[in-house]
Protein backbone atom coordinates (compact mmCIF):
# COMPACT_ATOMS: atom_id res chain seq x y z
CA UNK A 1 0.00 0.00 0.00
CA UNK A 2 1.39 3.36 -0.96
CA UNK A 3 0.18 6.58 0.61
CA UNK A 4 1.07 9.87 -1.07
CA UNK A 5 2.01 13.20 0.44
CA UNK A 6 -1.51 14.48 1.07
CA UNK A 7 -2.57 11.13 2.57
CA UNK A 8 0.05 11.69 5.30
CA UNK A 9 -0.10 15.49 5.02
CA UNK A 10 -1.24 16.25 8.60
CA UNK A 11 -1.14 14.39 11.93
CA UNK A 12 -4.89 13.86 11.53
CA UNK A 13 -4.40 12.23 8.12
CA UNK A 14 -1.65 10.01 9.56
CA UNK A 15 -4.07 8.74 12.20
CA UNK A 16 -6.73 8.09 9.57
CA UNK A 17 -4.48 6.17 7.20
CA UNK A 18 -3.06 4.10 10.05
CA UNK A 19 -6.51 2.48 10.28
CA UNK A 20 -6.22 1.46 6.63
CA UNK A 21 -2.79 -0.18 7.15
CA UNK A 22 -4.09 -2.68 9.68
CA UNK A 23 -4.38 -6.01 7.86
CA UNK A 24 -7.34 -8.33 8.09
CA UNK A 25 -6.82 -11.35 10.33
CA UNK A 26 -3.83 -13.43 9.33
CA UNK A 27 -2.56 -10.99 6.72
CA UNK A 28 0.37 -8.60 6.67
CA UNK A 29 0.64 -5.17 5.06
CA UNK A 30 3.63 -3.55 3.50
CA UNK A 31 3.26 0.22 3.55
CA UNK A 32 5.20 2.70 1.42
CA UNK A 33 4.98 6.36 2.44
CA UNK A 34 5.77 9.61 0.69
CA UNK A 35 7.05 12.67 2.47
CA UNK A 36 4.35 14.88 4.02
CA UNK A 37 2.97 17.12 1.26
CA UNK A 38 5.13 20.18 0.68
CA UNK A 39 8.22 18.76 2.35
CA UNK A 40 10.00 17.52 -0.77
CA UNK A 41 9.45 20.94 -2.35
CA UNK A 42 10.96 22.56 0.77
CA UNK A 43 13.96 20.24 0.51
CA UNK A 44 14.38 21.19 -3.15
CA UNK A 45 14.31 24.83 -2.03
CA UNK A 46 16.98 24.19 0.62
CA UNK A 47 19.19 22.55 -2.01
CA UNK A 48 18.59 25.45 -4.38
CA UNK A 49 19.83 27.92 -1.79
CA UNK A 50 22.87 25.77 -1.12
CA UNK A 51 23.70 25.51 -4.82
CA UNK A 52 23.53 29.30 -4.92
CA UNK A 53 25.83 29.50 -1.95
CA UNK A 54 23.22 31.08 0.28
CA UNK A 55 23.32 29.20 3.60
CA UNK A 56 21.09 31.81 5.28
CA UNK A 57 18.30 31.13 2.77
CA UNK A 58 18.66 27.40 3.38
CA UNK A 59 18.62 27.90 7.16
CA UNK A 60 15.40 29.88 7.00
CA UNK A 61 13.61 27.05 5.22
CA UNK A 62 15.14 24.46 7.57
CA UNK A 63 13.92 26.42 10.61
CA UNK A 64 10.39 26.69 9.22
CA UNK A 65 10.32 23.01 8.44
CA UNK A 66 11.56 22.14 11.92
CA UNK A 67 8.85 24.23 13.57
CA UNK A 68 6.25 22.49 11.48
CA UNK A 69 7.44 19.03 12.49
CA UNK A 70 7.65 19.95 16.16
CA UNK A 71 4.01 21.04 16.03
CA UNK A 72 3.06 17.80 14.22
CA UNK A 73 4.80 15.76 16.90
CA UNK A 74 2.84 17.51 19.63
CA UNK A 75 -0.39 16.71 17.90
CA UNK A 76 0.31 13.16 16.73
CA UNK A 77 1.16 11.37 19.97
CA UNK A 78 -0.83 10.71 23.11
CA UNK A 79 2.08 9.92 25.38
CA UNK A 80 5.11 11.91 26.54
CA UNK A 81 7.32 8.89 25.88
CA UNK A 82 6.59 8.88 22.15
CA UNK A 83 6.70 12.65 21.90
CA UNK A 84 10.10 12.55 23.52
CA UNK A 85 11.31 9.71 21.29
CA UNK A 86 10.22 11.53 18.13
CA UNK A 87 11.60 14.89 19.28
CA UNK A 88 14.95 13.20 19.81
CA UNK A 89 14.82 11.81 16.29
CA UNK A 90 13.85 15.21 14.83
CA UNK A 91 16.67 16.89 16.72
CA UNK A 92 19.20 14.61 15.03
CA UNK A 93 17.51 15.01 11.64
CA UNK A 94 17.57 18.79 11.69
CA UNK A 95 21.09 18.87 13.07
CA UNK A 96 22.05 16.78 10.05
CA UNK A 97 20.20 19.09 7.62
CA UNK A 98 21.92 22.11 9.17
CA UNK A 99 25.33 20.49 8.74
CA UNK A 100 24.98 21.10 4.98
CA UNK A 101 24.69 24.85 5.56
CA UNK A 102 28.01 24.80 7.39
CA UNK A 103 29.94 22.61 4.99
CA UNK A 104 33.08 24.16 3.51
CA UNK A 105 32.96 22.13 0.30
CA UNK A 106 30.82 23.16 -2.67
CA UNK A 107 27.34 21.75 -2.73
CA UNK A 108 26.92 18.85 -5.15
CA UNK A 109 24.27 16.56 -6.55
CA UNK A 110 25.30 13.83 -4.11
CA UNK A 111 24.42 16.11 -1.20
CA UNK A 112 21.23 17.31 -2.85
CA UNK A 113 20.00 13.73 -3.09
CA UNK A 114 20.79 13.13 0.56
CA UNK A 115 18.74 16.21 1.46
CA UNK A 116 15.81 15.16 -0.77
CA UNK A 117 15.73 11.78 0.98
CA UNK A 118 14.97 13.26 4.40
CA UNK A 119 11.27 13.93 3.73
CA UNK A 120 10.42 10.25 3.47
CA UNK A 121 12.79 9.36 6.31
CA UNK A 122 10.94 11.79 8.58
CA UNK A 123 7.39 10.80 7.57
CA UNK A 124 8.05 7.07 8.01
CA UNK A 125 9.61 7.59 11.44
CA UNK A 126 6.67 9.69 12.58
CA UNK A 127 4.13 7.15 11.40
CA UNK A 128 6.01 4.11 12.71
CA UNK A 129 6.29 5.70 16.14
CA UNK A 130 2.58 6.42 16.05
CA UNK A 131 1.76 2.78 15.24
CA UNK A 132 4.05 1.55 18.01
CA UNK A 133 2.42 3.93 20.45
CA UNK A 134 -0.97 2.52 19.45
CA UNK A 135 0.28 -1.00 20.13
CA UNK A 136 0.55 -2.19 16.53
CA UNK A 137 3.12 -4.82 15.62
CA UNK A 138 4.90 -2.55 13.17
CA UNK A 139 8.48 -2.18 11.98
CA UNK A 140 10.28 0.36 9.82
CA UNK A 141 12.48 -1.23 7.15
CA UNK A 142 14.77 1.43 5.61
CA UNK A 143 14.33 1.57 1.82
CA UNK A 144 18.01 2.44 1.49
CA UNK A 145 18.74 -1.18 2.51
CA UNK A 146 16.83 -2.79 -0.34
CA UNK A 147 15.81 -0.38 -3.13
CA UNK A 148 18.70 0.03 -5.52
CA UNK A 149 19.20 1.26 -9.09
CA UNK A 150 21.73 -0.15 -11.54
CA UNK A 151 24.40 1.60 -13.60
CA UNK A 152 21.71 2.86 -16.03
CA UNK A 153 19.68 4.37 -13.21
CA UNK A 154 17.00 1.70 -13.60
CA UNK A 155 15.72 -0.29 -10.62
CA UNK A 156 17.85 -3.37 -10.04
CA UNK A 157 14.99 -5.86 -9.85
CA UNK A 158 17.04 -8.91 -8.85
CA UNK A 159 18.79 -7.06 -6.07
CA UNK A 160 15.51 -5.62 -4.81
CA UNK A 161 13.81 -9.01 -4.78
CA UNK A 162 16.61 -10.77 -2.92
CA UNK A 163 17.14 -7.95 -0.46
CA UNK A 164 13.48 -7.52 0.44
CA UNK A 165 12.90 -11.26 0.79
CA UNK A 166 15.87 -11.54 3.14
CA UNK A 167 14.65 -8.51 5.15
CA UNK A 168 11.31 -10.20 5.67
CA UNK A 169 12.97 -13.45 6.67
CA UNK A 170 14.94 -11.56 9.25
CA UNK A 171 11.82 -9.82 10.60
CA UNK A 172 9.02 -12.33 10.03
CA UNK A 173 6.34 -11.69 12.60
CA UNK A 174 5.03 -8.20 12.03
CA UNK A 175 1.57 -7.07 10.97
CA UNK A 176 2.72 -3.85 9.32
CA UNK A 177 5.99 -3.16 7.53
CA UNK A 178 6.70 0.49 6.78
CA UNK A 179 9.21 1.85 4.31
CA UNK A 180 10.08 5.03 2.41
CA UNK A 181 8.90 5.62 -1.12
CA UNK A 182 11.01 7.51 -3.66
CA UNK A 183 14.44 7.02 -2.08
CA UNK A 184 17.04 4.41 -3.00
CA UNK A 185 20.72 3.82 -3.46
CA UNK A 186 22.37 3.93 -6.87
CA UNK A 187 24.94 1.54 -8.34
CA UNK A 188 27.70 3.45 -6.52
CA UNK A 189 25.93 2.95 -3.21
CA UNK A 190 25.10 6.65 -2.89
CA UNK A 191 21.71 7.89 -1.76
CA UNK A 192 19.55 8.59 -4.80
CA UNK A 193 15.88 8.66 -5.75
CA UNK A 194 13.40 7.39 -8.33
CA UNK A 195 12.50 10.93 -9.52
CA UNK A 196 9.70 13.17 -8.29
CA UNK A 197 6.51 11.25 -7.62
CA UNK A 198 8.59 8.08 -7.36
CA UNK A 199 6.86 6.60 -4.31
CA UNK A 200 4.35 4.88 -6.60
CA UNK A 201 7.29 3.26 -8.32
CA UNK A 202 8.70 2.02 -4.99
CA UNK A 203 5.35 0.44 -4.13
CA UNK A 204 5.11 -1.30 -7.49
CA UNK A 205 8.69 -2.57 -7.22
CA UNK A 206 8.12 -4.00 -3.75
CA UNK A 207 4.69 -5.46 -4.53
CA UNK A 208 6.12 -7.10 -7.64
CA UNK A 209 9.17 -8.42 -5.83
CA UNK A 210 7.03 -9.91 -3.05
CA UNK A 211 4.25 -11.04 -5.41
CA UNK A 212 1.66 -9.48 -3.12
CA UNK A 213 -2.09 -10.00 -3.67
CA UNK A 214 -2.26 -6.50 -5.05
CA UNK A 215 -0.50 -3.17 -5.04
CA UNK A 216 -2.67 -0.38 -3.67
CA UNK A 217 -1.92 3.23 -4.51
CA UNK A 218 -3.85 5.42 -2.07
CA UNK A 219 -4.36 9.03 -3.12
CA UNK A 220 -7.02 11.64 -2.53
CA UNK A 221 -9.33 11.01 -5.51
CA UNK A 222 -11.63 8.12 -6.43
CA UNK A 223 -9.33 6.35 -8.87
CA UNK A 224 -8.67 7.26 -12.48
CA UNK A 225 -11.35 9.29 -14.26
CA UNK A 226 -12.34 8.97 -17.90
CA UNK A 227 -11.14 12.54 -18.47
CA UNK A 228 -9.35 15.21 -16.46
CA UNK A 229 -11.88 16.37 -13.83
CA UNK A 230 -9.99 19.66 -13.40
CA UNK A 231 -10.74 20.57 -17.01
CA UNK A 232 -13.78 18.67 -18.18
CA UNK A 233 -17.23 18.46 -16.63
CA UNK A 234 -19.07 15.21 -15.89
CA UNK A 235 -16.10 12.88 -15.78
CA UNK A 236 -16.65 9.43 -14.35
CA UNK A 237 -14.30 7.03 -12.57
CA UNK A 238 -12.93 4.22 -14.70
CA UNK A 239 -13.29 0.95 -12.79
CA UNK A 240 -10.84 -1.17 -14.75
CA UNK A 241 -7.83 -0.54 -16.95
CA UNK A 242 -5.48 -2.86 -18.78
CA UNK A 243 -1.83 -2.35 -17.75
CA UNK A 244 -0.92 -0.79 -21.11
CA UNK A 245 -3.87 1.57 -20.99
CA UNK A 246 -2.86 2.74 -17.52
CA UNK A 247 0.74 3.21 -18.61
CA UNK A 248 -0.34 5.39 -21.57
CA UNK A 249 -2.63 7.44 -19.35
CA UNK A 250 0.04 7.93 -16.70
CA UNK A 251 2.57 9.00 -19.28
CA UNK A 252 0.15 11.29 -21.09
CA UNK A 253 -0.70 13.41 -18.14
CA UNK A 254 -3.06 11.62 -15.78
CA UNK A 255 -1.21 12.84 -12.69
CA UNK A 256 -2.51 10.07 -10.48
CA UNK A 257 0.23 7.53 -11.26
CA UNK A 258 3.98 7.70 -11.86
CA UNK A 259 4.45 6.84 -15.57
CA UNK A 260 6.95 3.98 -15.32
CA UNK A 261 5.58 2.30 -12.22
CA UNK A 262 3.16 0.03 -14.08
CA UNK A 263 5.87 -2.00 -15.84
CA UNK A 264 7.14 -4.10 -12.91
CA UNK A 265 3.56 -4.87 -11.80
CA UNK A 266 2.63 -5.93 -15.30
CA UNK A 267 5.62 -8.27 -15.58
CA UNK A 268 4.91 -9.75 -12.17
CA UNK A 269 1.19 -9.99 -12.94
CA UNK A 270 0.29 -8.19 -9.72
CA UNK A 271 -2.84 -6.01 -10.08
CA UNK A 272 -2.59 -2.35 -9.09
CA UNK A 273 -5.56 -0.72 -7.38
CA UNK A 274 -6.02 3.05 -7.10
CA UNK A 275 -7.91 4.00 -3.95
CA UNK A 276 -9.02 7.12 -2.10
CA UNK A 277 -7.97 7.73 1.51
CA UNK A 278 -10.85 10.22 1.91
CA UNK A 279 -13.34 7.56 0.84
CA UNK A 280 -11.72 4.20 1.67
CA UNK A 281 -14.69 2.00 0.81
CA UNK A 282 -15.10 3.37 -2.75
CA UNK A 283 -14.10 0.76 -5.35
CA UNK A 284 -11.42 2.89 -7.05
CA UNK A 285 -9.75 1.67 -10.24
CA UNK A 286 -8.18 -1.73 -10.75
CA UNK A 287 -5.35 -2.09 -13.26
CA UNK A 288 -4.75 -5.66 -14.37
CA UNK A 289 -4.12 -7.95 -17.31
CA UNK A 290 -7.66 -7.93 -18.70
CA UNK A 291 -8.56 -6.21 -21.93
CA UNK A 292 -12.18 -5.10 -22.11
CA UNK A 293 -12.87 -5.71 -25.77
CA UNK A 294 -13.94 -2.72 -27.78
CA UNK A 295 -14.14 -0.14 -24.99
CA UNK A 296 -12.65 3.31 -25.03
CA UNK A 297 -11.63 4.05 -21.47
CA UNK A 298 -10.26 7.53 -20.97
CA UNK A 299 -8.76 10.76 -22.26
CA UNK A 300 -5.67 12.48 -20.87
CA UNK A 301 -3.61 15.48 -21.92
CA UNK A 302 0.04 16.35 -21.76
CA UNK A 303 0.93 20.07 -21.78
CA UNK A 304 3.95 22.11 -22.80
CA UNK A 305 4.63 20.18 -25.94
CA UNK A 306 6.84 21.53 -28.70
CA UNK A 307 6.31 20.32 -32.23
CA UNK A 308 9.12 20.26 -34.77
CA UNK A 309 8.60 19.71 -38.48
CA UNK A 310 11.48 18.89 -40.81
CA UNK A 311 10.70 18.95 -44.52
CA UNK A 312 13.06 17.96 -47.26
CA UNK A 313 12.79 16.74 -50.80
CA UNK A 314 15.92 14.78 -49.92
CA UNK A 315 13.76 12.55 -47.79
CA UNK A 316 11.88 11.32 -50.85
CA UNK A 317 12.81 7.69 -51.47
CA UNK A 318 15.92 8.15 -49.35
CA UNK A 319 17.00 5.74 -46.68
CA UNK A 320 18.76 6.78 -43.49
CA UNK A 321 17.03 10.17 -43.35
CA UNK A 322 15.05 9.39 -40.22
CA UNK A 323 18.09 7.88 -38.56
CA UNK A 324 20.00 11.11 -39.01
CA UNK A 325 17.10 13.08 -37.60
CA UNK A 326 16.68 10.83 -34.59
CA UNK A 327 20.41 10.78 -33.88
CA UNK A 328 20.28 14.51 -33.25
CA UNK A 329 17.67 14.01 -30.54
CA UNK A 330 19.70 11.19 -29.07
CA UNK A 331 22.83 13.33 -29.02
CA UNK A 332 20.94 15.94 -26.97
CA UNK A 333 19.29 13.31 -24.77
CA UNK A 334 15.84 14.56 -25.68
CA UNK A 335 13.09 12.01 -25.97
CA UNK A 336 10.48 12.13 -28.69
CA UNK A 337 6.80 11.55 -27.85
CA UNK A 338 4.79 11.58 -31.06
CA UNK A 339 5.92 11.12 -34.66
CA UNK A 340 4.16 11.45 -38.01
CA UNK A 341 5.89 11.06 -41.32
CA UNK A 342 5.05 11.62 -44.95
CA UNK A 343 7.29 11.02 -47.96
CA UNK A 344 8.73 14.52 -47.73
CA UNK A 345 8.61 15.42 -44.11
CA UNK A 346 8.46 14.36 -40.52
CA UNK A 347 6.76 16.04 -37.57
CA UNK A 348 7.62 15.10 -34.05
CA UNK A 349 7.05 16.35 -30.54
CA UNK A 350 9.23 16.82 -27.49
CA UNK A 351 8.44 18.06 -23.99
CA UNK A 352 11.96 18.98 -22.95
CA UNK A 353 12.97 22.27 -24.58
CA UNK A 354 16.35 22.37 -22.84
CA UNK A 355 18.34 21.76 -26.04
CA UNK A 356 15.83 23.07 -28.56
CA UNK A 357 18.12 25.69 -30.11
CA UNK A 358 20.94 23.20 -30.63
CA UNK A 359 18.60 20.55 -31.97
CA UNK A 360 16.99 22.94 -34.47
CA UNK A 361 20.43 24.16 -35.52
CA UNK A 362 21.53 20.61 -36.34
CA UNK A 363 18.25 19.69 -38.02
CA UNK A 364 18.64 22.57 -40.48
CA UNK A 365 21.39 20.57 -42.16
CA UNK A 366 18.72 18.14 -43.32
CA UNK A 367 15.78 20.27 -44.31
CA UNK A 368 13.51 23.19 -43.58
CA UNK A 369 12.62 23.31 -39.91
CA UNK A 370 9.50 24.78 -38.31
CA UNK A 371 8.82 24.89 -34.57
CA UNK A 372 5.41 25.22 -32.89
CA UNK A 373 5.32 25.91 -29.17
CA UNK A 374 2.50 25.67 -26.68
CA UNK A 375 1.01 22.52 -28.06
CA UNK A 376 -0.78 19.78 -26.19
CA UNK A 377 -1.05 16.04 -26.77
CA UNK A 378 -4.53 14.66 -26.17
CA UNK A 379 -4.44 10.96 -25.81
CA UNK A 380 -7.44 8.62 -26.07
CA UNK A 381 -6.90 5.26 -24.42
CA UNK A 382 -8.80 2.02 -24.78
CA UNK A 383 -9.02 -1.13 -26.84
CA UNK A 384 -8.12 0.56 -30.13
CA UNK A 385 -6.74 -2.42 -32.03
CA UNK A 386 -7.11 -2.03 -35.79
CA UNK A 387 -9.55 -4.95 -35.87
CA UNK A 388 -12.07 -2.93 -33.87
CA UNK A 389 -13.61 -1.17 -36.81
CA UNK A 390 -14.83 2.37 -36.27
CA UNK A 391 -13.24 3.25 -32.95
CA UNK A 392 -10.58 5.59 -34.32
CA UNK A 393 -13.31 7.14 -36.46
CA UNK A 394 -15.34 7.96 -33.36
CA UNK A 395 -12.35 9.71 -31.82
CA UNK A 396 -11.69 11.62 -35.04
CA UNK A 397 -15.36 12.59 -35.35
CA UNK A 398 -15.14 14.18 -31.92
CA UNK A 399 -12.43 16.57 -33.05
CA UNK A 400 -14.05 17.54 -36.33
CA UNK A 401 -14.17 21.25 -35.43
CA UNK A 402 -10.66 21.45 -34.03
CA UNK A 403 -7.52 22.30 -35.99
CA UNK A 404 -5.49 19.16 -35.34
CA UNK A 405 -1.76 19.43 -35.97
CA UNK A 406 -0.86 15.72 -35.80
CA UNK A 407 -2.66 12.41 -35.33
CA UNK A 408 -0.94 9.25 -34.17
CA UNK A 409 -2.70 5.90 -34.39
CA UNK A 410 -1.37 2.36 -34.67
CA UNK A 411 1.73 2.82 -32.51
CA UNK A 412 0.11 0.61 -29.93
CA UNK A 413 -3.25 -1.11 -29.80
CA UNK A 414 -4.36 1.07 -26.96
CA UNK A 415 -4.08 4.66 -28.00
CA UNK A 416 -4.82 7.38 -30.49
CA UNK A 417 -3.27 10.78 -29.90
CA UNK A 418 -4.02 14.23 -31.26
CA UNK A 419 -1.69 17.19 -31.16
CA UNK A 420 -3.57 20.47 -30.77
CA UNK A 421 -2.77 24.02 -29.72
CA UNK A 422 -2.87 24.62 -25.95
CA UNK A 423 -5.74 27.06 -26.48
CA UNK A 424 -7.83 24.25 -28.01
CA UNK A 425 -7.09 21.77 -25.24
CA UNK A 426 -10.21 22.25 -23.17
CA UNK A 427 -12.70 22.09 -26.01
CA UNK A 428 -10.92 19.09 -27.52
CA UNK A 429 -11.12 17.18 -24.25
CA UNK A 430 -14.72 18.21 -23.72
CA UNK A 431 -15.68 17.17 -27.26
CA UNK A 432 -14.00 13.78 -26.82
CA UNK A 433 -15.86 13.18 -23.55
CA UNK A 434 -19.17 14.11 -25.15
CA UNK A 435 -18.66 11.84 -28.14
CA UNK A 436 -16.98 8.87 -26.49
CA UNK A 437 -18.61 8.67 -23.07
CA UNK A 438 -22.09 9.96 -23.82
CA UNK A 439 -24.05 7.67 -21.54
N1 LIG B 1 8.12 12.91 -2.04
C2 LIG B 1 8.45 12.71 -3.41
C3 LIG B 1 7.88 13.84 -4.25
O4 LIG B 1 7.24 14.73 -3.74
C5 LIG B 1 8.03 11.37 -3.93
C6 LIG B 1 6.53 11.10 -3.92
O7 LIG B 1 5.77 11.77 -3.22
O8 LIG B 1 6.11 10.20 -4.64
O9 LIG B 1 8.09 13.85 -5.44
MG1 LIG C 1 2.35 11.22 -6.29
For residue 308, give Cα distances in angstroms to 302, 313, 378, 391.
16, 17, 17, 28
Write the pLDDT tens digit of every residue in 137-148.
999 999 999 999
Pairing of strands 345-350, 336-341: antiparallel
pLDDT of residue 351: 93
Q: Are 366 and 324 in contact (CB under 8 A)?
A: yes
To which H or E segment does residue 327 belong? Answer: helix 321-331
Q: Under the phi-then-psi rule, with left for phi > 0, alpha for psi from -120 to 50, and beta for the rest, what region is 64?
A: alpha
CA distance 221 to 373: 32
| Separation CA 288–CA 268 (nearest Å) | 11
Which residue, among 314, 311, 315, 306, has the nearest Cα to 334 in the 3D structure? 306
Nearest CA to 251 among 414, 432, 428, 100? 414
Q: What pLDDT, on a 0 to 100 scale, did the predictor assign at position 385?
A: 87
Question: Which atom in ligand 1 lies closest to the alpha carbon of residue 195?
Answer: 9
Spatial contact of 334 and 353, defined as CB atoms under 8 Å apart: no
Closest ligand by atom to 202 CA: 1
| pLDDT tens for the chain, residues 1 to 439 | 999 999 999 999 999 999 999 998 889 999 999 999 999 999 999 999 999 999 999 999 999 999 999 999 999 999 999 999 999 999 999 999 999 999 878 999 999 999 999 999 999 999 999 999 999 999 999 999 999 999 999 999 999 999 999 999 999 999 999 999 999 999 999 999 999 989 999 999 999 999 999 999 999 888 889 999 889 999 999 999 999 999 888 888 666 788 788 899 999 999 999 999 999 999 999 999 999 988 999 999 999 999 999 998 777 777 888 899 999 999 999 999 999 998 889 999 999 999 999 999 999 999 999 999 999 999 999 998 888 888 889 999 999 999 999 999 998 899 999 999 999 999 999 999 999 998 6
In sequence order, the 6+-apart residues with CB closer than 8 A to the CB of 171 are: 139, 141, 177
For ligand 1, whether the C-beta of 365 sits within 6 Å is no
Residues with CB under 5 A from ligand 2 (ion): 4, 197
Q: What pLDDT score does 90 carry?
A: 98
Structural domains in the chain?
2-213 (3.40.1160.10), 296-436 (3.30.2130.10)
Q: Are 365 and 391 in contact (CB under 8 A)?
A: no
Task: Indicate if ligand 1 lies below 6 Å from the C-beta of 367.
Answer: no
Query: Nearest ligand, CA of residue 32?
Result: 1
Cα of 393 vs centre of ligand 2, distance in Å, is 34
Q: Which atom of ligand 1 is nearest to the CA of 197?
A: 8
Ligand 2: distance of its center to the CA of 70 in Å?
Answer: 25
34 in contact with ligand 1, CB cutoff 6 A:
yes
Give pLDDT, residue 119. 98
Distance CA 149, CA 317 (A): 43
**Considering only CA atoms, which of 67, 66, 68, 48 is closest in space to residue 58?**
48
CA 199 to ligand 1 centroid distance, Å: 6
Q: What is the whole-number distance in angstroms between the Cα of residue 335 and the centre of ligand 1?
A: 23
CA of 54 to the centre of ligand 1 (A): 25
Q: Are residues 390 and 380 in contact, defined by beta-carbon separation less than 8 angstroms?
A: no
Ligand 1 center to residue 45 CA distance, Å? 14
Give the pLDDT of residue 346.
94
Q: What is the dihedral of CA 254, 255, 259, 262, to 10 degrees?
A: -80
Ligand 1 contact via 9 beta carbon (within 6 Å) = no
Number of H helices, E strands in the chain: 13, 16
Is 382 near ligand 1, meaning CB less than 6 Å away? no
The string of DSSP letters for 135-204 reads T--EEE--GGGT-BB-TTSSB-HHHHHHHHHHHHHHS-S-SEEEEESSEEE-TTS-EEES-TTTHHHHHH
pTM of the model: 0.88
Q: Ligand 1, atom 6: nearest CA belongs to which residue?
A: 197
Amino acid sequence: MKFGGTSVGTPQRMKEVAKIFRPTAGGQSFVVLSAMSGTTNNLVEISDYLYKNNPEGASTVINQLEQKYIAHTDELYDTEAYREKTMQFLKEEFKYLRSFTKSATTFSEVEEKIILAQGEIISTNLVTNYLLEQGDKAILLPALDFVRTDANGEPDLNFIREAIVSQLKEHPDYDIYITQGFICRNAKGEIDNLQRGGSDYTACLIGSALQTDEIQIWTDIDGMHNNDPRIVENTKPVRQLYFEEAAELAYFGAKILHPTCIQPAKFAGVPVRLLNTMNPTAPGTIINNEIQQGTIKAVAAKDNITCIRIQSSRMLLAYGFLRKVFEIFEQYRTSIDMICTSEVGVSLTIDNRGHLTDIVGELKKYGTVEVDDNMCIICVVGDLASGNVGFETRACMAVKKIPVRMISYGGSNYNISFLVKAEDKKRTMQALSETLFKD
